[in-house]
């Protein structure tokens, strides 16, 4: 037995030396020019290639990489255990990212905004997903709140922003509550909400009758704005109302009590049917008029705006892949046109939620609509940053960061 092993033992040092020598031969210092040439040759990705980050953006696990600076972060929230009807939105972030694959920086110019949001002043990255428990909604709520707060307090890559902006890929709509909790801490003040949805989502939790009540059951995708109002996260009572747009929900009971509750919380309601009478431009005007700073209160009265887009604001013909579809909604084109009209708002955070790909067709129409909505929001955020810079730059002052 010893004689069999001896030749092998004798060969080990030589093999080790040979392996090290081979490794050393391939070590070299790469110059910037050489790296640029590698990028030129191999860096391009077609829409159907590459890893599935949003719009082929750089992917970083931002929650575990605190040194990575960004101006706008795409963050996935694969959570759907606060839904009241069809689950499945936990797969929404993945579906939206895949549907965004034809969005690329080399062909990302937005003609209506006159910018390419991916080739401008803002560093935009895909921050991955928040790892959320599907077993315990109390833990999930704490995880989401902590993650949004952590990312919201990060530094920015550009001096144009004090705080980074997050666009959340949902997930069910309940994630708006932890987002608002975090943003109030980040900005030190309550926020106003622009809410595109078929449903109110300001329902008192008792509107969901149960003989088995619990405090945790109050956290769901139809009551999160009611909870946010009670927690003082909304500026409805101070800076002015928040706005629902695209409503066509059925109400509780046999009267208008749900609308009365909503009015007491100082929300403005724009129904889906309003678009037939006033058109997209009328919807835009109604939104902007509602968000105008109240006369005489000064700039200090202005509150940051959180934009929340439930994909079920679209008619099921255009977005069947959602948990609570309601016939009679807007077209994708109408929603996009409205989003293009509100770019002047100071949007500090946004979400696109309730994409449940199991219910959509093979053509991915729901996820495609959601990915386009994200692109429009990104374009508006980047363009707003450019406009703000133009107002603050002194004549002749250089801003080389652009």
Q: Torsions phi, psi of 319, nearest 5? A: -145, 70
274 is in an annotated binding site: no
- Scanning the structure block, which residue is given the tokens 């922003």? 161
Report the alpha-carbon distance of residue 108 to residue 56 in Å, rounded: 11
258 is in an annotated binding site: no
Please, which residues bridge with residue 129 across strands? 76
Rounded to the nearest angstrom, the gap between the alpha carbon of residue 194 and the centroid of all alpha carbons in its chain is 14
254 is in an annotated binding site: no
Report the alpha-carbon distance of residue 188 to residue 246 in Å, rounded: 30
* Tokens describing residue 290: 């509602």
Instruction: Quickly list H helices, 292-350.
Output: 332-341
199 is in an annotated binding site: yes
Report the alpha-carbon distance of residue 218 to residue 227 in Å, rounded: 8
Q: Given the DSSP bridges, would you call strands 347-353 and 165-170 parallel, antiparallel or unpaired?
A: parallel
Would you mind telling me the total number of residues written for the chain in this entry? 402
Report the alpha-carbon distance of residue 324 to residue 313 in Å, rounded: 10
346 is in an annotated binding site: no
Q: Torsions phi, psi of 253, nearest 5? A: 70, -140
201 is in an annotated binding site: yes
67 Cβ neighbours under 8 A, 6+ residues apart: none
The binding site consists of 173, 197, 199, 201, 310, 312
The binding site for Mn(2+) consists of 173, 197, 199, 201, 310, 312
């Amino acid at each position: 037995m010893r004689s069999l092993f001896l030749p092998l033992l004798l060969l080990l040092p030589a093999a080790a030396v040979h392996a090290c020598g081979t490794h050393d031969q391939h070590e070299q210092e790469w110059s910037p020019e050489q790296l640029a040439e590698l990028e030129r040759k191999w860096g391009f990705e077609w829409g159907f290639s590459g890893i599935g980050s949003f719009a082929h953006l750089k992917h970083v696990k931002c929650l575990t990489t605190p040194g990575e600076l960004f101006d706008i972060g795409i963050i996935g929230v694969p959570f759907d255990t606060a839904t009241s009807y069809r689950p499945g939105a936990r797969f929404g972030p993945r579906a939206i990212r895949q549907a965004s694959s034809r969005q690329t920086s080399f062909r990302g110019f937005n003609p209506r905004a006159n910018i390419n949001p991916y080739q401008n002043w803002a560093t935009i990255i895909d921050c991955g997903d928040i790892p959320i428990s599907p077993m315990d909604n109390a833990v999930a709520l704490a995880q989401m709140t902590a993650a949004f707060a952590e990312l919201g307090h990060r530094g920015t890559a550009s001096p144009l922003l004090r705080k980074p902006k997050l666009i959340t890929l949902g997930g069910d709509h309940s994630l708006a509550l932890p987002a608002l909790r975090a943003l109030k801490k980040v900005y030190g003040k309550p926020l106003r909400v622009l809410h595109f949805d078929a449903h109110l989502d300001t329902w008192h939790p008792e509107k969901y009758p149960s003989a088995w009540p619990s405090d945790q059951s109050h956290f769901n995708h139809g009551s999160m704005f009611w909870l946010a109002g009670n927690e003082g996260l909304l500026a409805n009572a101070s800076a002015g109302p928040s706005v629902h747009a695209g409503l066509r929900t059925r109400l509780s009971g046999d009267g208008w009590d749900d609308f009365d509750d909503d009015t007491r919380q100082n929300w403005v309601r724009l129904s889906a049917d309003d678009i037939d009478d006033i058109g997209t431009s009328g919807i835009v005007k109604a939104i902007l008029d509602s968000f105008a700073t109240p006369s005489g209160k000064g700039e200090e009265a202005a509150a940051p705006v959180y934009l929340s887009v439930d994909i079920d604001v679209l008619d099921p013909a255009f977005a069947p892949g959602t948990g609570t579809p309601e016939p009679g909604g807007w077209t994708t084109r109408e929603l996009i046109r409205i989003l293009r009209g509100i770019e002047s708002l100071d949007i500090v955070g946004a979400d696109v939620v309730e994409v449940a790909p199991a219910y959509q067709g093979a053509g991915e129409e729901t996820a495609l609509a959601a990915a386009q909505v994200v692109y429009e929001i990104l374009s508006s955020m980047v363009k707003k940053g450019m406009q703000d810079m133009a107002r603050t730059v002194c004549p002749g002052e250089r801003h080389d960061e652009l």
